[in-house]
Structure 1
Amino acid sequence: MEGLLSADGRLHGSRCAGCAVAVYPADPACPRCGGPAEPVVLSDTGTLWTWTVQRYAPKSPPYTAPDTGFEPFPVGYVELPEGVRVLAVLDVPPEGVTLGMPLRVTAGDGVPRGAVAGATA
């Protein structure tokens, strides 16, 4: 299978040749029917399906706290048009997060990130 990120920053998943189920990250076999799956570049926009606020620092390593210390941050599942839900750190202030909001999904440091669709980084 290909890597998790395409050259243009989009996520790679896979789609079953038999039942058309799409998954992320890519897997050579379908989780539904066990048939072969082919690599596919996933859509880069979706809608926020659910979310929460991470209020404690992740384990270290691999997490390294910034010099200013740990700050709580929102995380959520972004549902892509392919039906795949991708867990992402949300680059949105917690007070600005709403279910169903449109988000653009990219990868940052190997972790998917979600930002308001149409916003520039």
Structure 2
Amino acid sequence: MAPVPIADDLFTWPADEPRLIGGRCAECGTHVFPLRAGCARCGAAAVERALLSRSGTLWTWTSQGFPPKAPFRGEFAGTDPFEPWLVGVVELPGELRVETLLTGCAQDDLEFGMPMRLVTLPFRTGEDGREIITFAFRPEGAEHA
């Protein structure tokens, strides 16, 4: 069975070069993610679908030192023994900042402002046996997600 995204209209799928699906307000130009019907900045309903940049810079990060509870617990966080995982905020230039999983790196590798790239990765296996994927960002040039 082919993998499926964790949610519809969150990122392009299937895609060799995935993009986050956001929106852009036709009134004030503000970008939003995920795509929603109204603009949080000006209140306009004229938000149009927009594919966001695949590249950005690391704005901040932290490690998650405990396993998340369902439904947020993916198989990547279910290792035994548990290993902390990384969450960060990536700034997409001229668009917005996205909270995201970080992959392909260790905490000691991270630096403020470092280039990051959007990737997809397995999140968990659904009840029907299908692999469910999500998005994450990894350092630009990292070999594996």
* TMscore range, shorter length: 0.7 to 0.9
- Give secondary structure in 2 for the equivalent of 1:86: strand
Name the structure 2 match of 1:100: 113
- Higher mean C-alpha displacement, 100-109 vs 34-43: 100-109
Name the structure 1 match of 2:60: 50
Deviation for aligned residue 1:24: 0.6
Identity, in percent, stands at 39
In 1, Cα distance between the equivalents of 2:65 and 2:87?
Answer: 10
Unaligned runs of 5+ in 2: 1-7, 124-132
Unaligned runs of 5+ in 1: none
Instruction: Identify if the C-alpha distance between structure 1 residues 57 and 97 changes in structure 2 by more than 3 Å, giving closer, same or farther.
Output: same
User: One-letter code of the match for 1:88?
Assistant: T
- Give secondary structure in 2 for the equivalent of 1:71: coil
Q: Is 2:112 the partner of 1:82?
A: no
In 2, Cα distance between the equivalents of 1:99 and 1:89?
Answer: 16
In 1, Cα distance between the equivalents of 2:109 and 2:79?
Answer: 25
Contact 1:10–1:41 (CA under 8 A) maintained in structure 2: yes
**19, 22, 30: which one aligns with 2:31:** 22
Q: TM-score, normalised by structure 1?
A: 0.87
Q: TM-score, normalised by structure 2?
A: 0.74
- Give secondary structure in 2 for the equivalent of 1:31: coil
Deviation for aligned residue 1:42: 0.4
In 1, Cα distance between the equivalents of 2:40 and 2:91?
Answer: 18
- State the superposition RMSD in angstroms: 1.9
Deviation for aligned residue 1:67: 4.8
**4, 7, 17: which one aligns with 2:10:** 4
